[in-house]
Amino acid sequence: MGLTLEMMVPKTTFARRLEKQMDFDWLINQVKPYFPDAQDRTAAPVRALCLILLEHLEPYGLRCGDRPLLASIYDNWRDNTAYMLLLQAVPGDIPAYRTLSDFGDIPVFEDVFYPVAGKLPPEVLRELLAHVLTNCAASRIAAEYPDQPLHYMNRLSKEEQAVEVERLARDYAEQFYQEVAAYRELAGQ
């Protein structure tokens, strides 16, 4: 029996805790009107949603440098086995992962974010984010740092959580479209 990505990712990672809250079937059904080919969790809008949530809910492990944060998350995706598990993809250019044939190669950054920004209305993205954030808050997923939403939301009442979830979903959706625009500008497109 060979080494698998499943074996390489500890059960306690944030990516695994987030994965339990994603409700992939519901998400796929919600994006079908905009992405008819979306069949499973590897669809661009589902991967984009996962990456947006990682950006905001687990930001401290992410390198940024002078690039927009979503672009740096793409780099982290390629380097982090927990993210690869969540996103169900392994880059073929990393020799150690070539034997893990259950996973396809990670598409280029533009193949994930550009179609989502171009086809998914902001209010739908906001709805999807709110759904997952509500699941996370209800299950009291823990976050490591006090200023992270999944840390401080645990102290809020259900009503306060609902208000905070709506605010965060709106902010994250707006920031996503702004960051894609910034990345396009940086890339000269």
Three-class SS string for the chain? Answer: CCCCHHHHCCCCCHHHHHHCCCCHHHHHHHHCCCCCCCCCCCCHHHHHHHHHHHHHHCHHHCCCCCCCHHHHHHHHHHHCHHHHHHHCECCCCCHHHCCCCCCECCCCHHHHHHHHHHHCCHHHHHHHHHHHHHHHHHHCCCCCCCCCHHHHHHHCCHHHHHHHHHHHHHHHHHHHHHHHHHHHHHCCC
> Is the predicted pLDDT of residue 51 greater than 80, yes or no?
yes
pLDDT in tens, 62-118: 555 555 556 566 666 656 777 777 777 655 544 555 554 444 455 566 777 888 999
Cβ-based burial of 86 (10 A; exposed 0-12, middle 13-18, buried ≥19): buried
- pLDDT score for 102: 46
- pLDDT score for 101: 43
Mean pLDDT of 43-65: 75
> Is the predicted pLDDT of residue 121 greater than 50, yes or no?
yes
pLDDT in tens, 152-166: 887 888 899 999 999
Q: How many CB atoms lie within 10 A of CB 18?
A: 21
pTM score:
0.78
Give dist(CA 133, CA 161) in Å, integer: 9
- pLDDT score for 138: 83
pLDDT in tens, 125-159: 999 999 999 988 888 776 666 667 777 887 888 89
Q: Please, which residues bridge with residue 46 across strands?
A: none
pLDDT in tens, 18-44: 888 889 999 999 999 999 999 988 888
Token pair listed for 9? 């990712």
Residue 60 near residue 76, CB atoms below 8 Å: no
Give dist(CA 180, CA 173) in Å, integer: 11
- pLDDT score for 70: 61
> Is the predicted pLDDT of residue 46 greater than 50, yes or no?
yes
